[in-house]
Chain A
């Protein structure tokens, strides 16, 4: 390679690098100036976030029960006995850990979990105790809460039937920067985690159409398990999705967020949770860096 070409290559690399937001840049220029540390608990504690959402009228999944300590475990299980579809979550868990999804009640007592396994009342008690004890979070004395199970809109149910696909919207000062749909797969064990084999599908902010899909770091056009085409699809109620993301972002005193939105078949877009340190993989999914989007909003 000649000297001039090497310099041109380096200049091109530097230009592309300037558009990329790495972890250092995200923390120093986005998280620290926009998210005050004392407000982090709002994002980390899903119950606290829900309080903010409720006050601002942001639609969320209905909370069926809250278990705030070992003493409340039995009560919580009793309160759930009449329910068919619910999800148990730790208030401060992350990465989907400690989440138990229940699909139906069994005649003999207990429930059937998503994926088929049986959950007895005793097992549920044990799980709630674990959650409360902080087994799934980095804090002691976590809380467990139970939500009504969201039934996904057909569009998302087609992508993954057994659970939830969510739309991750990165917002800065309440304005969406970039977004993607995260699709669980059999390979990812039903988790919408891109590192474990879930799919990431980029959505054009303006049109709500899918423009790019990535599986394990590779750009794909079809679902690797079902063969369904993934590009050029139009997402349902896109304007509402962005609107609830905006409202959720503006309901909390945090400026830089990852807002996770799901589409319920009956209720439409609901906000699941927010993340004050959203990941950067969304850039690989969209095939472009966050830098120019940040400049667009900050300008």
Chain B
């Protein structure tokens, strides 16, 4: 290779890498981009599903709705309660929702949904902090006993003394109390357990442990309160959760004795209300039932869209009403193509064409990778069989291809119909596959089959599908997608990698097998 040529290659790669570093550095330091913003957030949609048998009379149902705060942002609230009047108002720290109605029939349903993006909360507590002599009036109210939080009961006070939690710094006291409450065996008990009962039984559910924690903390001179909420998981459930907060150094710090979270709250916790409250209250003499439906998905961080000011194609897509998915696919295709290049030129895996696997991977976004592979297999097998039948008619080439295209259309629609019947909704999305991509894949399979035999065609199809899965894994990464949207110069690195691979003369992995007799001679 002439050395001027090698220089040209080296300079090209160097220039591309430098341009990327400069552009990305400028954005990070001068324009206020943040790499952390490229990480997607988990967004949960919570739906309260309430059913009530009003028996034709007046009905009143009351519950709590979450409020946005720095730890959780609530959006997209929707109420569907035909025949009932819905209102919500702030009551102290909480937001109370009420549904009322007259002549309410049996089987009335209420669906209230909202979206939440929660964040993890963690406190580093100052171990030397002493218990203050006095608190502001609004806080000192959280030192008083309540009906189920028996702060001045002799047994509570005796336990406090036994723990040695009545003296020393705040954190020390809380650790001793937390040690007791979090050490209690878990009891799957539904209903209310007061602090004293939890202490006497020596075991409790989440609300019993939280009340005992609050009672002991208050007795130790630390303001504390109950918190009610939900643990956000991708399920439908009835279980809500309770934990506690203590006032330490001017902050309300969370403590969950049940799940052993000391001075921290995991991301998946949703706060609904503060205080010793019932989550649902309703007028007597109605049958009332409820469920929480929770679905989770990854979403781009809202901060990312706001901060990506330069070359803001994201905002442009929003203005034009184009789907975000399309933008992601467009920007990820070069990365998918690089994956194909790696598999072809470094691994040596045979595939149908250079970009077909990346295109199939992009198309499989709606079906998911597994069903995408199934979809490709169905179409390839059916259409190849059709191709084989056509061969007997000995038609000219272009009309044959046109017939195959019709075959792909028909196979896609039939597969969608059948999978809908079988309840395979993701496979039904096969109709979103670009027809041409499937037709070309099927034709390539058939040609390979006739020219090189079934084994070779199956190898190429298998290789294609493996690369499709690899492309899908990388192209489907939301974090990478947002990174490329915010820092499109990453694609320059992809170009640099391709230039390097374009001059790479190394032995492909598959060639170690092909030339094994030459490479691994016995004389070694």
**A22–B518 CB distance below 8 A:** no
B320 at interface, CB cutoff 8 A: no
What residues on B are CB-neighbors of A22 within 8 Å?
505-508, 511, 515
**B451–A97 CB distance below 8 A:** yes
B345 at interface, CB cutoff 8 A: yes
Assembled-state Cα–Cα distance A215/B504 (Å):
31
| Chain B residue with the shortest CB-CB distance to A138 | B447
What residues on A are CB-neighbors of B518 within 8 Å?
16, 19-20, 283-284, 287-289
Answer whether A24 and B519 are a contact pair too, CB < 8 Å, given A9-B524, A97-B451, A133-B397: no
What residues on B are CB-neighbors of A97 within 8 Å?
451
**A134–B397 CB distance below 8 A:** yes
B497 to chain A, nearest CB (A): 15
Given contacts A22-B505, A126-B394, could you give 13 more A-B pairs where the C-beta distance is less than 8 Å? Answer: A16-B519, A16-B521, A19-B518, A20-B519, A22-B506, A22-B507, A24-B504, A24-B508, A135-B397, A284-B517, A284-B518, A287-B517, A289-B515
What residues on A are CB-neighbors of B451 within 8 Å?
95, 97
Answer whether A284 and B524 are a contact pair too, CB < 8 Å, given A22-B506, A22-B507, A134-B397: no
Residues 482-524 (chain B) with a chain A CB within 8 angstroms: 503-508, 511, 514-515, 517-521, 524
In this complex, the member of A23, A28, A283 whose beta carbon has the largest number of chain B beta carbons within 10 angstroms is A23
**A283–B397 CB distance below 8 A:** no
Residues 272-299 (chain A) with a chain B CB within 8 angstroms: 283-284, 287-289
Interface residues, chain B, with chain A CB atoms under 8 Å away: 1, 345, 348, 394, 396-397, 451-453, 503-508, 511, 514-515, 517-521, 524
Assembled-state Cα–Cα distance A288/B515 (Å):
10
Assembled-state Cα–Cα distance A126/B394 (Å):
9
B388 to chain A, nearest CB (A): 15
Which of B345, B397, B503, B507 sits near A20, CB closer than 8 Å?
A: B507
**B519–A23 CB distance below 8 A:** no
Assembled-state Cα–Cα distance A28/B521 (Å):
26
What residues on B are CB-neighbors of A289 within 8 Å?
515, 518
| Chain A residue with the shortest CB-CB distance to B1 | A29
**B517–A24 CB distance below 8 A:** no
Assembled-state Cα–Cα distance A179/B77 (Å):
77
**A25–B524 CB distance below 8 A:** no
What residues on A are CB-neighbors of B507 within 8 Å?
17, 20, 22, 24-25
**A17–B1 CB distance below 8 A:** no
A82 at interface, CB cutoff 8 A: no
Cβ contacts A to B, 25 pairs, < 8 Å = A12-B524, A13-B519, A13-B524, A16-B521, A19-B518, A20-B507, A20-B519, A22-B505, A22-B506, A22-B507, A22-B508, A23-B508, A24-B506, A24-B507, A28-B503, A28-B505, A129-B396, A133-B396, A196-B453, A217-B517, A219-B517, A283-B515, A284-B515, A284-B517, A284-B518
Assembled-state Cα–Cα distance A196/B521 (Å):
25
Residues 1-39 (chain A) with a chain B CB within 8 angstroms: 9, 12-13, 16-17, 19-20, 22-25, 28-29, 33
Question: A249-284 CB contact bits vs B (8 Å, 1 = yes)?
Answer: 000000000000000000000000000000000011
B444 to chain A, nearest CB (A): 12
| Chain A residue with the shortest CB-CB distance to B396 | A133
What residues on B are CB-neighbors of A20 within 8 Å?
507, 511, 515, 518-519
The 8 closest A-B pairs by CB, nearest first: A25-B505, A22-B507, A22-B511, A12-B524, A28-B505, A24-B505, A16-B519, A20-B515
**B515–A13 CB distance below 8 A:** no
A141 to chain B, nearest CB (A): 11
Assembled-state Cα–Cα distance A274/B394 (Å):
31
Residues 195-233 (chain A) with a chain B CB within 8 angstroms: 195-196, 217, 219
